[in-house]
Amino acid sequence: MAKLSIALEAAGLMAALLVAGCEGLPEAATPPPTPLAAPFYPPWTLNQSPERIALRWYPDATPSAAAEQVARAHCGSWNRSAVLVSDTRDGSAEIAEYQCR
């Protein structure tokens, strides 16, 4: 009787592991985004729409890659790519506009 109980427990455990594995592995083809150096101050949004986003930040406190990452996430939410259309300086601040294509 003990052998039957152990066999049933093992079968139940195997079934649970099989079901848990049905979710699959995370997408390995898409590498995770490159982490930005911390600490930094994220860019703030001046305006946004599904077609574009404008961001402002201080380059001495925030790398431009942070703005690009925000723009990619914004445009990516509509399954589009972020394309830089303008990058200007306003005093010590940098302003970039991205179009979602």
Closest by CA position to 89, among listed 60, 66, 68:
60
Please report, in tens digits, the pLDDT of each residue of the chain (101 residues total): 555 444 435 444 444 444 444 444 444 444 444 445 556 688 999 999 999 999 999 999 999 999 999 999 999 999 999 999 999 998 999 999 999 99
pTM of the model: 0.61
Q: Phi-psi region for residue 10, left (φ > 0), alpha (ψ -120 to 50) or beta?
A: alpha
